[in-house]
Amino acid sequence: MSENTDFFTNCPLTKVQKIVGGKWKIVILWYLSRGPKRFGEIKRTFPDITQAMLTKQLRELEEDGFVHREIFRKIPPRVEYSLTATGENFVPILRSMYDWGEVHLGAAKEQSPSKDSLALSGPLIF
């Protein structure tokens, strides 16, 4: 293995990219930063994601320690997803990415919501 390949394989940025690099993972994490959500709530928030893809992305985030899946033994059964401590520690990075996008993405900036509309108690708006 070359020195460059070894560096990039072991680089923390490469490792983070592997974890949050899925098409939907960053916005799923952002949405879960507002508190625990049921699968259906997440699916309704992102109507363009297929059920299979949402399941895959959530499972991967769970395997990587960013998301916790809790099963409530009720009739009917209920499952909620929430951020783990690791996921919570990633939220300031998501906020920085959002802030950077607001400043640097031109036309997208004009269409983006204000910080007030992204208050953790409100609905997720893009």
All structural domains of the chain with their residue ranges: 23-118
Asked whether the beta carbons of 124 and 34 are under 8 A apart, the reply is: yes
32-66 pLDDT, tens digit per residue, is 999 999 999 999 999 999 999 999 999 999 999 99
Q: Which CATH number is 23-118 given? A: 1.10.10.10
59-87 pLDDT, tens digit per residue, is 999 999 999 999 998 888 899 999 999 99
Q: What's the whole-model pTM score?
A: 0.78
